[in-house]
Chains A and B, each alone.
Chain A
């Protein structure tokens, strides 16, 4: 008995073994060396992207060979699939982060000048250095256009989403289908639509209002769809409790449904804003072009940040390209900021309260209790002779 016990030692249940790590590292080193050899000594290859591709293929091949030495059948396939999924996911996330970082880093040279934020382009030519001129006109234009677009899309989008959730029937099914199909409406078509109606048929000039209408047409389906999903998540028992107390429909929507979904709705609007703020093509067709500051959206051409980027990089001058990257970096930072705000607000499930909201509710309910106690004391006082 005693000898048997001493033989049995605790078995490891970990799913990751040291040999897995060795074969991974070994395959990576071998693949790197092989492609370095190929690129520098043997074959006339060049280019960083080609290098990455060759290394990756070599890595997968060598790793498969290493794994097949010690395992068989489904285990080999499992290990190869694991490595392929991990590496492709890593490659894509890396590529996406690289796209953003590339813009921000190249935009840094323009962003480091203060005048980039405080001047417009009216007195600056293509050959002037970065210490002159800026994108104030585009910043003002972007903010005004998106504000006007939000003025249209928030009431219309959210009330349409409420319609989809509160009144069921053939009409709301049709609206939902159309809105879903329109979420991928090409932005240039949205611009073309406003160009066809607002400018060609009504004969109005290109202006900030036309551009914000075009952005609204594009943002509306996005906001409707996201709000619709959020409103559907509001627990039905909350609404039923409200109806059970005899509340009318609009009071239930106003006091129960919308406040419960508040954080989700905010996120929906912010994500729609992030999409609308970065669109170039609707603005390209409807806002015209200007190099000077114009704060009046109803008259004269306006410009937005993405459109400014587009116009800057069409020029061959290095200073203009640097300005383009600066404006793109600014736009990117704006989108990042919107996203950070959306994540802070939208991280909560429907109905979850912040500490401050919780405190306020407690205080209100305490006040109510005091008020009711006082009222009942008064009635008992008068009730008893």
Chain B
């Protein structure tokens, strides 16, 4: 019928051939279904945003009293009105930075090994081994750090502080490098040891993000590099690493977010001090999460409010880091489709 119209009158057909309106009629069961899943999405959104709201609500009282000194004060004595996060934030960041400095080279090596060097048959085994390590409870790492590492790593810490003590943050006060019998307790419970333990915890997480982007490097470009006579390392340096840069940065940030929030392993190892302590090899440091775990039990009403404020600071810090991480990773994945 349409064809006859076209033959008879072209103008008429153009008028008749307007785009038809396409409507999808959603019937009732589907409406209910969409309602249910939309509700659950909104519920998740609500719970996640309530975390920030309730922490802020409970923290308001303490923040009101402390004002701006909350950011600059080092001591933590809420009941005498003298408290702030300067020392604990610095401690938290130092532990996380030490952890990242140790974890990132290890994670890059493992990720490269799994995606480039490992025999094909063993690849999936290694992948699930790394995933398993990411799920090992933090208390297990804490036990290892407290009972094994603490006593075995002091020799390394002593050596570093003896020969590199001229670098300010590697020096140790109260230790005499010339006396081989000086007590080693000054080297225990330090930022360095907590950092090693946290490094082992976050390395698998960083590694699995990196491995994923490395294995997405386009095979055409890999073969191109080989065809130009490149060695394997040359290929990795010119194709795989530049390609995976976004994933490497994003994975590192993700690991940093986890390292900032680690509680129990750090709690077991460090001995808390409430002054800014930049010497990473020396005993005594502090972190937000371990402060909360340490003080929540004995805190008064106002002390609890102060702890909530500290928790809020930690929450905001990790949230910023995670947002940056996930946007960097997402951007690197969308670029992955070229080639």
Contacts and interface: CB of A to CB of B under 8 A. Distances in A.
Contact of B41 (A88, A175, A193): A175
Given A163-B37, A189-B314, A281-B293, A99 B110 contact: no
A219 to B, nearest CB: 12
Contact of A75 (B105, B106, B116, B231): B231
A337 to B, nearest CB: 11
A321 B48 CA distance: 37
Contacts of B232: 78, 81-82
Contact of A85 (B117, B268, B289, B326): B117
Nearest to A277: B137
Interface residues of B, number: 96
B50 interface: yes
A180 to B, nearest CB: 5
A182 B321 CA distance: 11
A138 B111 CA distance: 37
Interface string A143-174: 00000000000011101101110110001101
A62 interface: no
Secondary structure dominating the interface of B = helix
A25 interface: no
Contacts of B231: 74-75, 77-78
A113 B308 CA distance: 42
Contacts of A313: 143, 146-147, 268
B286 interface: no
B55 to A, nearest CB: 6
Nearest to A178: B48
Interface string B83-119: 0000000000000000000000111011011101100
Instruction: Count chain B CB atoms within 10 A of each CB in A171, A192, A217 and give the residue with the most.
Output: A192
A40 B132 CA distance: 38
B5 interface: no
B151 to A, nearest CB: 9
A53 B156 contact: yes
Nearest to B230: A74
B307 to A, nearest CB: 8
Interface in B25-62: 26-27, 29-30, 32-34, 36-38, 40-45, 47-51, 54-55, 57-58
B169 interface: no
A332 interface: yes
A193 to B, nearest CB: 5
A171 B152 CA distance: 52
Nearest to A225: B326
Contacts of A181: 319, 322-323, 326
9 contacts: A50-B155, A92-B110, A92-B203, A200-B58, A280-B263, A309-B139, A313-B268, A328-B139, A339-B128
Given A47-B156, A271-B135, A280-B264, 4 more contacts: A160-B41, A188-B311, A285-B293, A324-B143
Interface of A: 44-50, 53, 74-75, 77-78, 81-82, 84-86, 88-89, 91-93, 95-96, 98-100, 102-103, 106, 155-157, 159-160, 162-164, 166-167, 171-172, 174-175, 177-190, 192-193, 195-197, 200-201, 217, 220-221, 224, 248-250, 253, 271, 274-275, 277-281, 284-285, 306, 309-310, 313, 321, 324-325, 328, 331-332, 335-336, 339, 343
